[in-house]
Amino acid sequence: MLNKISLVITGLVFFGLFALTNSINAEEARPMQENVVIEQQVQRLSEELRCLVCQNQTLADSSAPLAEDLRKEVREMATKGMSDKAIIDYLVTRYGDFVRYRPPLNLATALLWIGPFVLLIASAVGFVSMLRRGRKLSAEAPLSQDEARKVAELLKKES
C-alpha cells in the first residue's frame, strides 16, 4: 500500500515538473520577420493577391503550397525594400491580372466588371417582354361562328 502511494506521488511530481517546464518555455507566436513593418506589408499584400490554386481565396486565407511559396516571395521582395506597387506589378507581369484578388477595370477585365450588369438588364428585359406577350395571348378574342357552334354543341351534350 505504501509503495502504491509513493508511486502515485512520484508520478504526480514528474507530471507537475513536466507541465511546469512546458509552460515556462511557451511563448507567444512571433511573426516570421522581426521587422513588424515588413510583416504588415506582407499581410496587406497577401489580402490583395489571389491564390492561383484555390482561385477564390486570398494568399492570406490559403494554405496551399503555392500560396506559401508566393507569400515567401512577397516577403523576400518586401525585405529588399520594394513597395507594394512594385511587388504587385512584378506579380502581375509574371502571372497576369488574375493574381489580383480585385482586378482593375481595363479592356481585358471589362467583361468581368460589366458582364453581370449586362446579364441582369438583359434578363429583366426578357422577363418584361415575356409578361407582355403572355398578356396579349390571354386577351379574349371573339369566337368565330364555327367555334361558337362547337361550344354550343358541347354544352348541349353535357346538359
DSSP string, 38-62: HHHHHHHHHHHBB-TTTSSSBTTT-
pLDDT in the model for residue 99: 87
Cα–Cα nearest to 88, from 77, 114, 79, 80? 77
**pTM value?**
0.53
Beta bridge partners of 50: 58
Q: What is the DSSP string of 80-112?
A: TT--HHHHHHHHHHHH-GGGBSS---STTTHHH
Question: Can you give the pLDDT at residue 63?
Answer: 87
Question: What is the reported pLDDT for 137?
Answer: 62
Which residues sit opposite 49 in a β-bridge?
A: 100
Q: Which CATH architecture has domain 36-99?
A: Orthogonal Bundle (1.10)
pLDDT at residue 10, rounded to an integer: 77
Show the cell assigned to 71: 507569400
Residue 56: predicted pLDDT: 82
What's the pLDDT score for residue 74? 92
Angstrom distances, CA of residue 67 to CA of 23, 25, 30, 93: 33, 31, 20, 17
Query: Average pLDDT for consecutive 10-residue bins of the chain (159 residues)?
Result: 70 65 53 75 91 85 89 92 92 88 80 88 93 71 82 83
Instruction: Tell how far CA 106 is from the center of its chain.
Output: 22
Q: Report pLDDT for 18.
A: 67
- pLDDT number for residue 28: 46
